[in-house]
């Protein structure tokens, strides 16, 4: 399959107005969910959990924690993806991961790897670890946005909500999770003012953001 990446990436945009009568197709949202599971992460830590909400009352309830400018997106788009990170990552998590590797590959648990990677994890204090976990969640989020575009689904990345309130609404603390970022998915309303045709994409020139050293 050859993909015209430039076309895909210049046609995706942060959708501001969703069409409540055009839900995302189930087979596409299932493919999107699989992209979350397949996302890469540092040391394959996968320190995350994703909530995928399509229930209308639940979407409305969660919209309470969104900025006013984002509330209608929760209502009108068919799916709200809440990207969460673990509150911490410990040696026990590494041990469980290596046990999964052994189980899935039919090998012995690589205890030396647990020790080695444990040194890396332990080199981070609690704050560094929190941001490291958040970095991993954002990697999955980037892959998710690209995947939406490839699946011809419209999406809006959303940080405009209270993480503390989202954590409360989803009961995340007791599950050892924190909300990080939200992805709203559906199809654009024909009146959306932010399509690339109505509001052209603004990016810095290539020389300002890229230095090629050949
Ligand atoms: C992490 C992140 C958070 C964002 N949060 C919001 C938001 O809360 N509400 C909103 O309408 N747009 C939000 N945006 C959309 C950005 O403003 C938009 O991606 C940016 O202006 C580039 O435009 P484009 O995505 O249409 O190319 C967010 C984007 C990102 C990547």
Read out DSSP for 137-179?
HHHHHHHHHHHHHHTT-EEEEE--B-HHHHHHHHT-GGGTEEE
Helix, strand and coil percent figures for the chain, each rounded to 5: 50, 15, 35
DSSP 23: P
**CA 178 / ligand 1 centre spacing (Å):** 20
Cα 56 from Cα 62, distance rounded (Å): 10
Q: Best substitution site from 65, 159, 161, 203 to test ligand 1's pocket, by max atoms within 8 Å of Cβ?
A: 159
Q: For the chain, which residues score pLDDT lower than 70?
A: 1
Does the pTM of the predicted model rise above 0.95?
A: yes
Burial class (CB in 10 A: 0-12, 13-18, 19+), 186: buried
Domain spanning 5-209, CATH architecture: 3-Layer(aba) Sandwich (3.40)
Q: Best substitution site from 157, 180, 200 to test ligand 1's pocket, by max atoms within 8 Å of Cβ?
A: 157
**What's the pLDDT at 111?**
97
Q: Is 183 in the pocket of ligand 1 (CB under 6 A)?
A: no
**CA 30 / ligand 1 centre spacing (Å):** 24
Determine if residue 152 is left, alpha or beta; phi over 0 gives left, psi from -120 to 50 gives alpha, anything else beta: left
Stated length of the chain: 214
pLDDT in tens, 68-119: 999 999 999 999 999 999 999 999 999 999 999 999 999 999 999 999 999 9
* Whether 119 contacts 152, CB under 8 Å: no
**What's the pLDDT at 184?**
98
């Amino acid at each position: 399959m050859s993909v015209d990446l430039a076309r895909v990436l210049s046609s995706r945009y942060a959708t501001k107005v969703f069409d409540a009568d055009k839900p995302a197709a189930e087979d596409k949202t299932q493919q999107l969910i699989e992209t979350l599971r397949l996302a890469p992460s540092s040391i394959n830590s996968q320190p995350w959990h994703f909530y995928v909400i399509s229930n209308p009352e639940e979407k409305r309830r969660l919209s309470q924690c969104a900025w006013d400018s984002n509330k209608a997106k929760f209502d009108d788009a068919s799916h709200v993806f809440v990207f969460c990170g673990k509150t911490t990552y410990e040696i026990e998590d590494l041990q469980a991961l290596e046990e999964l590797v052994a189980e899935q590959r039919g090998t012995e648990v690589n205890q030396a790897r647990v020790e080695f990677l444990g040194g890396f994890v332990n080199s981070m204090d609690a704050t560094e670890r929190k941001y490291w976990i958040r970095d991993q969640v954002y990697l999955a989020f980037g892959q998710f946005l690209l995947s939406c575009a490839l699946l011809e689904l419209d999406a809006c990345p959303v940080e405009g909500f209270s993480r503390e309130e989202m954590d409360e609404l989803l009961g995340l603390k007791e599950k050892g999770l924190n909300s990080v970022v939200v992805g709203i998915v559906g199809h654009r309303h024909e009146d959306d003012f932010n399509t690339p045709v109505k509001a052209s994409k603004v990016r810095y020139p290539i020389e300002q953001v890229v230095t090629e050293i050949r």
